[in-house]
Amino acid sequence: MSRNGLRLFGLAAALAVFVADQLVKWYVTGPLDLVNVGAIPLLPFFDLRYTQNFGVSLGLFTANSAEMRLALIAVTALIAAGVLVWLLRETSRWDVFGLGLVLGGALGNIRDRLTGGFVIDYADFHIGEWRPFLIFNLADAAITVGVLFLLARSLLSREKRGPSDPVPTETN
C-alpha cells in the first residue's frame, strides 16, 4: 500500500469509529430515550444505561467548571493531534489501524464535550451487581482496543537479533 493509501486507510478507520460512535450516541439518547428510561437490560451481563461523564477515564479529572471543561478539551485535542501526526508518519498498516481507532474515539468524545459539556456513556458490563468497568461508550472501547493493539504490536514485532548480527557494545 502506498504512503497516501496508508494515510487514507488510517483516516477512514478514524472516520468510521467517529461516525459509528456518534450514531450510537444519537440512537441511545434519541429513539431509545435512555436519558428518561434509565436502563435497558440486553443480556444478563450487559445493559444500556445512560450516564454523563464529566471527567476522563475512570472518572478522573472531573471538569466542574467551564474553564476546566475547556482545559480538558484542549488537552484531549492536543493528544488527538499527536495521534494524527503519528498516524500520518507511520508506515505499518496495523499500527495505522490502531492509531485510527484511537483518533476516531478521541474525536467522538471531544465532540460530545464541545456540544454537551460531557461525554455520553451507555455501555454497562456487569456480573450481577459487580461492575468490573465503569459505564463506557463505543469511542472509549475503540480507544482501548487501539491502544492495546499498538502495545501488542510493539511487544510482538520487536526486531530480533539474528546469529550474524553483532551484539551492541559501549564505546567511550
Query: Does residue 134 contact residue 58 with C-beta atoms inside 8 Å?
Result: yes
- Distance in angstroms (rounded) separating the CA atoms of residues 107 and 95: 18
3-class SS of residue 104: helix
Tell me whether residue 165 is one of the annotated catalytic residues.
no
Catalytic residue (one of 21, 112, 124, 140)? 140
Catalytic residue (one of 21, 95, 121, 124)? 121
Tell me whether residue 140 is one of the annotated catalytic residues.
yes
DSSP 20-80: HHHHHHHHHHTTT-HHHH-EEEEETTEEEEEEEE-SSGGG-S---SHHHHHHHHHHHHHHH
104 grid coordinates: 476516531
Q: Rounded to the nearest 5°, which phi and psi values hold at 30? A: -95, -95
By annotation, the residues acting in catalysis are 121, 140
